[in-house]
Chain A
Amino acid sequence: MTEKMNLKEIEKKAWTSYFQDGLWDIYLGLLFFNMGINDLFEQFGEFRPISGIIIVFGGMMFLILGKKYITVPRLGLVKFGQKRQINAIKLSILILIAVVTTAILFFVPQQFQLSTDIPIRGIIISLLLFTIFTGMAYLLDFKRLYVYAIVFSVAMFLAEYIHEIFGRPTSGIIIFAIPGLIVMLIGFFHLIKFSKTYQKPTGAI
């Protein structure tokens, strides 16, 4: 009996069940979608960043409230052990480093452009994005993130070239908004499937 009982697999299954709801997919897809449509808000002038901030924080609220009102009432509540808590801290550090590095790269563009043929900034940002997403996928045991890592980092790398061909805002829509929308749709598909699989229990448990 113990040979078939793999405690590591039991813990992993318990952990990954929390990603069946698709909420993370929706949030990440929304972030990318927002990047793609950001150029459409150029008409708002100095208020343009606010629209992006609203979408990003709105998405975050959807994620948090979704976990609270959709996932937990259907799946139940669990507090994981030390290993997962340590991974959460590592993940927070990873995201913090990524945000700071990306901010620096975006605000210091010229120094990374050695020649017009080699988009160094694009390469660095896409590698950074790939590293962040694969790091998240590993720490969260969230396999779909590996696919999103490839999609988003390739999109970031191609951004410079697509901008030159189609110009803004069309390039943003092609490179970021469409993949972002696809990821969001994947998220909604998982959310609907999750809601049907795990009906909300009636009565107190």
Chain B
Amino acid sequence: MNKSSSKKTEDVQSISNIDKIIHEPARLNIMAHLYVVDSADFLFLMRQTDLTFGNLSSHMSKLEDVGYIEIIKEFVGKKPHTMLRLTKKGRIAFEEYKKNMKQFFDGIPK
């Protein structure tokens, strides 16, 4: 009894610890794509995530506010270019999120 109730508590705690910023589907999609590359521009992320410009922009702002991504505005030739990259904090947060989710799903009996 003690073992199962402590396991239940652990499961509840692991799901409670889930990063709600990352957990939103669109932001999770963005974080996943940025995690597997070094950096990408806005257009690339739009194409890969199928998000609209406004949607992507809004989620990017939220991620930037918590320090998970950095937005680098630069010029390529004469054209303005926006590159996006996960910060170290963002990578750690994403890995933590992965770990917590895996822990939670692994705990579910088949």
Contact = CB atoms under 8 A, between A and B. Distances in A.
Query: Does A pair with B?
Result: yes
Interface of A: 1-3, 5, 7-8, 10-11, 13-14, 17, 75-81, 198, 201, 204-205
Contact of A78 (B35, B40, B80): B40
Nearest to A204: B80
User: Chain B CB within 10 Å — which of A7, A14, A76 has the most?
Assistant: A76
B44 A198 contact: no
Residue of B36, B41, B82 ringed by the most chain A CB atoms within 10 A: B36
Contacts of A76: 40-47
Contacts of B1: none
Contact of A205 (B33, B46, B101, B102): B46
21 contacts: A1-B25, A1-B101, A2-B102, A2-B105, A3-B105, A10-B32, A10-B36, A75-B47, A76-B40, A76-B42, A76-B45, A77-B41, A78-B37, A78-B39, A78-B44, A81-B38, A201-B43, A204-B79, A204-B80, A205-B41, A205-B53
B53 A2 contact: no
Main secondary structure of the interface of B (DSSP, over half): helix
Contacts of B32: 5, 7, 10
Interface in B22-59: 25, 28, 32-33, 35-48, 53
Contact of A7 (B25, B35, B38, B102): B35
Contacts of B40: 14, 76-79
B98 A2 contact: yes
B81 interface: yes
Nearest to B45: A76
A10 B43 contact: no
A94 to B, nearest CB: 23
A75 B44 CA distance: 6
B83 interface: yes
B47 A17 contact: yes
B55 to A, nearest CB: 13
A79 B53 contact: no
Contacts of A10: 32-33, 36, 48
Contacts of A75: 43-44, 47
A3 B103 CA distance: 12
A167 to B, nearest CB: 50
The 9 closest A-B pairs by CB, nearest first: A76-B44, A76-B43, A11-B36, A79-B38, A78-B40, A2-B101, A77-B41, A205-B42, A78-B44
Nearest to B53: A205
Nearest to A83: B36
A5 B79 CA distance: 34
A80 B37 CA distance: 5
Contacts of B36: 7-8, 10-11, 14, 81
B88 to A, nearest CB: 15
Residue picked from B32, B33, B42, B47, most chain A C-beta under 10 Å? B47
